[in-house]
Amino acid sequence: MNMRYLAGTDSGKISLQTEISPDCGVINLCPELPAGILEDAVAELTWTMAEDEKLFMNGYQTWTHSPEMGKRDRMRGVDQVPGPIRKHFGLDRYGDYHFVPYSGKKGQSHGFSYCYFRRGDTYRLIGSLDETPGYTIFAYDSAAEKLTIRRDCAGVRHNGGRFHAFDLFFAQGGEREVFDAWFAAMGCRARQAPRLTGYSSWYNRYQNISDASVREDLEGYRKVLPKGGLFQIDDGWEPAVGDWLETDTAKFPEGLRGFAEECHGDGLRTGLWLAPFVCETRSAIYREHPDWLLRVNGEPWYCGCNWSGFYALDIDNQEVQAYLKNVFHRVLEDWGFDLVKLDFLYAAAPFGSERESRAARMARAMALLRQWCGDKLILGCGVPLMPCFGVVDYCRIGCDVSLDWDDKWFMRLIHRERVSTRQSIDNTIFRRQLNGRAFGNDPDVVLLRDENCTLTPAEKQKLAAANGCFSQILLCSDPVERYSAENRERYAWVQQLFDRAEEIKTEADNGLSIGFKLDGKRYSIRIR
């Protein structure tokens, strides 16, 4: 196949072509460009998709819905949401909508960093080898039989000479074969993170937590978590999002150090949720340090409507860096937590600059987090995936689960990052190849309880099967001390699945199902 590509700066452009095949391995296209401000590099090639073939496009960030698609499936943006609503709630800020166009037409889709075409057990994988020059954005038009590859680098200053327009890897073969080969070509290895079973406070109590409530839940989980298991306190412990140096004194008057020590005495690891690169409008950080906010065209960058509305912090501000370094020292050293769940990380890099691309800025933010956290465990969330490869120990690979299956019809019209159990399962299954190669996959929690949950027994089983089969970390938020005998059996079964499942297979050509073998018994769970 002939691939034509165009790259250039505001001082001059160059158009070239090269021959590739679906299994040609590494392709480095590095033309000589004149000094100046880069424009996006663009490549095009004819790419045929069979009628029964499936296509996977990796979504922009953790929460972006990323299922396998058929040849004429549609990918929706946020254009269907009325403009005033979209602006008020910042719906275009959670994903790529402010910098990638969506046609909304059948058979047109796009994704970031890697994609594949699958026919039966044969995969045609195309992956980026390096995102530092800019995100690699793949777009496919099935009617035109055209694959477009774009390097998201416009606006970056180039000093002249060789520019990495594209660093790509092409492979064709079985699932394990092509993904192993891609990661080998990148030279990327996941950190050696332990497999964890644990608890998260979020999906039952949400922000309504206190010293009394987490101790109540700890009492129940002492009886079911193995030694080395994780007890994680999620959002709600802080006075406001952005204020991380102290606890909310009304909820945790004695702070969190004593609680962490108590968990350690029980042989448990402790985790704490933070969103380090954002602050909400009711935080002291927002009121007292307006100069810390990331500004775009002179205005603070509004990230969305969570909490009281929240804004991005500027990671180039030295005072911001000093503050966050102090935060992580406080949480990990003074309070003694073993793991931090770091959320809404995409806010660090909604834009690039003349100095670096959007992707390079995101990678730099992740490197700062690793530096500040040292060897402590990091669970990344709400973040573009490839800048996390080999940096975080665990990473969410889907959206938040919901207490129902797929929310109300009008909520399905907002954005691809919405809360949805159905969409969370899709991402858990179709990003399964990253588990153990890029990081340990975190598919979010299982839900088994009868109270405060409207999932049917069958839906709970689907969620449990996906999470148990395709994860490195298995969390639950249920009040296990109030479990019925039946639910205790289900919880034990999920833990056994996580620990001992064998011969795990996914069937995605006729609906979607997961098959596995556990303790000599074969199971087949139909997802849809």
Task: Supply the pLDDT for residue 139.
Answer: 98
Q: Which residue ranges of the chain lie beneath pLDDT 70?
A: none
Residue 504 maps to a domain? no
Cβ burial, residue 298 (10 Å; 0-12/13-18/19+): exposed
- Show the domain range for 82: 2-186
Which token pair is 498? 């996580």
Q: What is the 3-state secondary structure (H, E, C) of 440-490?
A: EEECCCECCCCCCCCCCHHHHHHHHHHHHHCCCEEEECCCHHHCCHHHHHH
Examine residue 289 and state whether it is found in any structural domain, yes or no.
Answer: yes
The whole-number pLDDT of residue 411 equals: 85
Domain annotation covers residue 511: no
205 and 179 both lie in a single domain: no
Q: Which of 130, 158, 186 marks a domain boundary?
A: 186
Under DSSP, the state recorded for 420 is -
Under a CB-based contact definition with an 8 Å cutoff, are residues 220 and 480 in contact?
yes
Q: The CATH number of the domain where 268 resides is what?
A: 3.20.20.70
Q: Which among 412, 440, 468 is the end of a domain?
A: 440
pLDDT of residue 450: 94
Q: Give the residue from 287, 259, 280 showing the smallest Cα distance to 201.
A: 259
Q: Are 202 and 174 part of one and the same domain?
A: no
CA atoms within 13 A on the CB side of 76: 11
Q: Are strands 25-29 and 166-173 parallel, antiparallel or unpaired?
A: antiparallel
- Same-domain check for residues 233 and 366: yes
Q: Supply φ then ψ for residue 170, to 5 degrees.
A: -115, 135
Q: In the numeric block, which tokens belong to residue 399?
A: 């959206």
Which of helix, strand or coil describes residue 500? Answer: helix
3-state secondary structure 36-68: EEECCEEEEEECCCCCCCEEEECCCCCCCCCCE
**Residue 179 and residue 201 share a domain:** no
423 inside domain: no
Extended strands (E) in 282-417 = 295-296, 299-300, 302-304, 310-312, 339-342, 377-380, 394-396
Reduce the DSSP state of residue 411 to 3 states and report it.
helix
The answer to whether residue 393 sits within a structural domain is yes
Please enumerate in sequence order all residues whose Cβ is within 8 A of that of 78, keeping only pairs 6 or more positions apart, or say none. Answer: 86, 91, 92, 95, 97, 102, 414, 415
What is the reported pLDDT for 407? 87
Shared domain for 243 and 380, answered yes or no, is yes
Note the pTM of the prediction, 2 decimals.
0.97
- The pLDDT value recorded for residue 381 is 98
Query: End-to-end distance of the chain based on CA atoms, in angstroms?
Result: 37
Residue 410: predicted pLDDT: 81
Q: Which is nearest to 133 in space by CA: 60, 16, 30, 44?
A: 30
Question: What is the SS3 assignment for 76?
Answer: coil
At 407-442, the pLDDT tens digits run 888 888 899 999 999 999 999 999 999 999 999 999
Distance CA 428, CA 16 (A): 39
**Does 96 map to a domain?**
yes
Helix 318-329 / helix 358-373 crossing angle, nearest 10 deg: 40
Same domain, 211 and 260: yes
Cα distance between residue 94 and residue 277, in whole Å: 14
Q: Is residue 477 part of a domain?
A: no
Q: What DSSP assignment string belongs to 184-242?
A: HHHT-----PPPEEEEESHHHHTT---HHHHHHHHHHHTTTSPTT-EEEE-TTSSSBTT
Phi, psi (5° rounding) for residue 405? Answer: -80, -50
Query: What distance in Å separates the CA atoms of residue 168 and residue 430, rounded to the nearest whole number?
Result: 21
Same domain (yes/no): 63, 205: no
178 and 211 share one domain: no
Structure tokens at 69: 């698609």
Domain shared by 129 and 228, yes or no: no
Which of 143, 161, 186 delimits the end of a domain? 186
Number of folded domains in the chain? Answer: 2
Q: Are residues 245 and 300 in the same domain?
A: yes
Residue 455 inside a domain? The answer is no
Whether 259 and 154 share a structural domain: no
168 and 138 belong to one structural domain: yes
